[in-house]
A and B are shown apart, each in its own frame.
Chain A
Amino acid sequence: MKFGILILEGPYQHQAGDSAYNFAEAAVAKGHAISGLFFYCDGVQNATTYMTPPQDDRHISKRWAEFIAKHGVDAVVCIAASKKRGITDANLIKGARIAGLGQLTELGIESDRLIAFGD
């Protein structure tokens, strides 16, 4: 199956981003394809390289970047939400792209399931 995943919450504040990641990993492990990740609202903060958590905590943006690279997943970060929060190509994780909400619509159309994580 093709799973689309929508992430609506920022890193470290709520569990949503962690749940989304765990779900995505489990889906891939079961042989499913991730048709795309879409980061929206505060969720766009998951995709900034401007985070340096302590070494004994998870590095949320690095974890996403590795996931994207390893599985060749399309990751879209909402342009309007990014502009509001100071996320640009300069501080965007590798493998992600900044684009519009139309991409979320496309993801909904393409995916067998689109599941949202937020708070």
Chain B
Amino acid sequence: MLFTVNKSPLTSDNLKTCLRFAKKGNSVLLYEDGVYGAIPGTKVESVVKEALKSIEVFALKEDLKARGFGEVIDGVKLVDYAGFVGLVEEHNVCPWL
């Protein structure tokens, strides 16, 4: 299962509740404003680090770049749109809008 999260976790609980439903082996893709969850040094960094112990977290490179960021929390994997498509090939999708 791939959860797609598009809200900033700094202003919304979206990512938090999503992670409550995501179980071991699931993946989460952060895109649009969701990518703010992938950058180091924010108040949600620890939440993401904890999640990384059991699930894979991806961030959409194009959305990060558009917002002026490039560096991500250790363990978060960057994907481009082709990678996004690849994740959808592999997993069924649960859009967590």
Contacts and interface: CB of A to CB of B under 8 A. Distances in A.
Touch test A–B (CB under 8 Å): yes
Interface of A: 1, 3, 8, 15-16, 19, 22-23, 25-27, 29-30, 32, 113-119
Contacts of B10: none
A117 B95 CA distance: 8
Nearest to B32: A15
Contacts of B86: 30
Contacts of A118: 95, 97
Contact of A23 (B81, B92, B97): B81
Contacts of B95: 115-118
15 contacts: A15-B6, A15-B33, A16-B32, A19-B32, A22-B62, A23-B85, A26-B84, A26-B85, A29-B82, A30-B86, A32-B85, A32-B89, A113-B93, A115-B88, A119-B97
A25 B6 CA distance: 19
Nearest to B97: A118
**Chain B interface, >50% SS class:** helix
Interface of B: 4, 6, 31-33, 62, 80-82, 84-86, 88-89, 92-93, 95, 97
Given A19-B6, A23-B81, A30-B82, A116 B89 contact: no
Nearest to A117: B95
Given A27-B85, A115-B4, 4 more contacts: A1-B89, A16-B32, A113-B88, A113-B89
A72 to B, nearest CB: 19
**Chain A interface, >50% SS class:** mixed
Contacts of B33: 15
A114 B1 CA distance: 13
B5 to A, nearest CB: 12
